[in-house]
Amino acid sequence: MRGIPSITAEVVCFMRALERRRPANERALDDPYAEKFLGPLLTAALFGAKITGELGMAVERLSPGLTAYIVARHKFIDEALEKALPNKPERVVLLGAGYDTRAYRYADQLRGIPVFEVDHPATSGRKASLVEGLPPADVRRVEVDFETQALDERLAEAGFSAGPRTFVVWEGVSMYLTRRAIESTLQLLHKLTGPGSRIAMDFWFLVDAPDLRAIAHRLEPHLLSFLGETVTFGIHPEDVGGFLERNGWKVIELADAGTLEKKYLRDQGRRVYPAMFLVVVERI
């Protein structure tokens, strides 16, 4: 699966596009560019969803709360970026960029700030072929095959130097890595960034309630293996602070499913997938 663009990244993009079928006053997120990165199958699915509304409900039946989590997560990180911009970060890094559109949605606010989009060559290449017509942005693509190439070397080749204040988005990635890979990346980011740098990222954890819903959520990660993305790392919100501090970062904000529901879901019938949470951390 590594030689083709990420299916998971496109599905996540589809969920952001699907949110736009809701009335404007009910949207948790408004991403006008997400639809541009969908292939023929998901474009047709989105068209059908706009007409019938059935697909959104089908997605929810398959994995209750996942669509709401994806859009709420994206909105939370949007707001973390907005909070960081007044402190004048010198660059933004999107680790595992997928089909992230922030460089284009925030083109005006990011003027003069380069956005380094880091991803596997297959996904990065497909995205690069589809950005024509989007607002101009200083996007620097960093294509990395993590199995054979070093991230710091590829960043340096793209003009990324050590020291400046940086805002890093690491969205929807940690759960597919090993503990050691996460630790190594956090330590590398600490080495390459300056005081005041921040990371916005999310984690998966094992829901430990004894009810049937929790049991179902514990089984769902195995389904992702059919998309070529297997969950390999989880950590409980109660334990994440120590883990991050040992690797050079302190938690300044944490949002679990309940927090995301209260902040972003205007439709009271929606729920956020409970086995995920987000943090914003700052360099120690």
Q: Which domains does the chain have, with CATH numbers?
A: 64-283 (3.40.50.150)
DSSP labels for 46-59? Answer: HHHHHHHSHHHHHH
Q: Which residues are within 8 A (CB) of 237 and not within 5 positions of it... i.e. 6 or more apart?
A: 203, 205, 254, 256, 277
What confidence tens digit (pLDDT) does each residue in 174-206 have? Answer: 998 999 999 999 999 999 999 999 999 999 998
Q: Are 44 and 167 in contact (CB under 8 A)?
A: no
What confidence tens digit (pLDDT) does each residue in 17-76 have? Answer: 999 888 898 899 999 999 999 999 999 988 877 655 554 555 555 556 888 999 999 999
Q: Are 17 and 38 in contact (CB under 8 A)?
A: yes
Structure tokens at 103: 């460089």
pLDDT at site 226? 46
Structure tokens at 221: 């990660």
pTM for this entry: 0.90
Burial annotation 114-152 (CB, 10 A radius, 16+ → b, else e): bbbbbbbebbbebbeeebeebeebebbbbbbebeeeebe
- Pairwise pLDDT comparison (213 vs 101), residue with the higher score: 101
Sign of the Cα pseudo-torsion (75, 107, 89, 113, in order): positive
Model confidence band, residue 211 (pLDDT cutoffs 50, 70, 90): low
